[in-house]
Amino acid sequence: MNRSPRPQRAAEFLLRRACRRLPEEQAEERFAEWSAELPAIVSDPDLSDFRAAWRAVAFAFGQIRTAEELAARQPADPFDAIRAFPLVGALILLAVTSDSEGMMDSVATVTAEVLAVVGCITLRPKRARTRSCARMQEQAQARRRLSEEEAPDG
């Protein structure tokens, strides 16, 4: 049976998207586990090509829902609150000094602006996920090559 790898690639794309919601260590583990199921689903001899493709993509959509549930169960990062201190400090400083005038007002305003910038920088989204996604993509390609080599020529 000669099946196109497109459904498998589409399902792997959906799985990578789902794993972005998880912590990096857990994302790699889940992606490896979930993507290992795809060759079995796609190469099921009892299914037509269309049904096999449909099942692979439906499986991936189901894992998106699972990843959302797993991500919701993750404990909150206590450092997120600590990272927000500069931004909170800036807002408090602006609120307290908004009524004052003169030199103290300008110093407080500049300090509040600096704290706001520092707060925004520390609260920016983490970018470490892109490296793990690239790693997951490489692993998926290696798995796909292995499954293509193991498939009987026909």
Give 92-99's long-range contacts (Cβ < 8 A, gap of 24+): none
Predicted local distance difference test score (pLDDT) of residue 2: 47
Q: What is the pLDDT of residue 128?
A: 45
The pLDDT value recorded for residue 78 is: 63
Q: What is the pTM of this model?
A: 0.50
Q: What is the mean pLDDT of each run of 10 residues along the chain (154 residues)?
A: 70 88 85 90 87 88 86 66 68 64 66 72 54 69 78 60
The 10 Å CB-count burial string (b at 16+, else e) for 42-77 is bbeeebeeeebbebbbebbeebeeebeebbeeeeee
Give 18-32 pLDDT, tens digit per residue: 888 888 878 889 999
Q: How far apart are CA 22 and CA 89, in angstroms?
A: 30
Judge whether 45 and 38 are in contact, CB under 8 Å: no
Residue 4 φ/ψ, nearest 5 degrees: -75, 140
Confidence (pLDDT) at 42: 87
pLDDT at 140: 77
CA distance 7 to 147: 14
